[in-house]
Amino acid sequence: MRCIVKRRAQFSASHRYWLPELSEAENERLFGANARFPGHGHNYVLYVSLVGELDEYGMVTNLSEVKKIIHREVVSQLDYSYLNDTWPEFQQTLPTTEYIAKVIWQRLIPYLPLVDIQLYEHPQLWANYQGKDMEATLTIGTHFSAAHRLALPELTLEENTKIYGKCARPNGHGHNYHLEVSVTGQIHPRTGMVVDLVTLHKIVAEYVVEPLDHTFLNKDIPYFTQVVPTAENIAIYIAKILRDPIAQLGVELTRVKLIESPNNSCEIDCRQLFSQQQETISISDSLVLV
């Protein structure tokens, strides 16, 4: 039986986004505050995912040995370092989150059966790398607050309550929604970036956060006058409105995750969603509900 196991590690390091061939103004335009001298630091959290068959001891691999390898090849070298000067790979390509994840993969793959490297720069920004040349996935997190009511207009309150429970109450209720947006593309060989991170944040803010924040979704957003604003439908709506603006950045929108509360969330596989030709999408095929 094949299983995937995951090992966590962490290290603290600093870095700076700066290309000497560009002027100060060009670096600031491209990298924003990340270009400031002498750099800035993060508490990085690393998840190393391994795949394999279960052995006679019920393990994919000995995680004690995995811990030693990760420490020897990664943590001991990067912890409390200035990344730009630490590994030769960062002399040519800046140590962005996505590129660090790629290099960590390259350092570990001779020793471990890797399936995914996930590196958190902070809780609202992380990257995944899965050994596909220069392809990586970058995820940003944000939030908005909104109210909604779950009810079908053609049904009575009693009928809606049977379907939606308390969420059908006439005056609605609110949530602090947490949103994760994942994009996939090619790591630039010089900047180390999959996408212009500043512009990506602006697009998500402009198209999602500002229009939805502090609204009553059923009344303030025309789409939800006809569609019940469940977490699933909100996530589909967000994916649809972000698809084209994000594509214009040269990357693909691959995942939207909406966390309605600590107990409820849904995740959209955007590639599967957009492969559907019909406007009506099969929720069972496109969503992961938690």
H or E segment to which residue 5 belongs: strand 2-15
Query: Exactly one of 73, 167, 178, 180 is catalytic; which is it?
Result: 167
Kindly state the tokens that stand for 100: 């660090």
Do the beta carbons of residue 106 and residue 131 sit within 8 Å?
A: no
Tokens of 163: 């379907």
SS3 (DSSP) at 190 = coil
Catalytic residue among 40, 143, 173, 214: 214
Beta carbons within 10 angstroms of residue 152's beta carbon: 12
Structure tokens at 261: 């509360």
Residue (of 257, 45, 191, 136) closest to 128 by Cα position: 136
Q: Is 173 a catalytic residue?
A: no
214 is catalytic: yes
The residues, ordered by sequence, that sit 6+ positions from 161 with a Cβ below 8 Å of its Cβ are 168, 169
CB-CB neighbours of 220 under 10 Å: 14
Q: Which of 98, 121, 260, 267 is catalytic?
A: 260
Is 154 an annotated catalytic residue?
A: no
Return the active site residues: 167, 214, 260
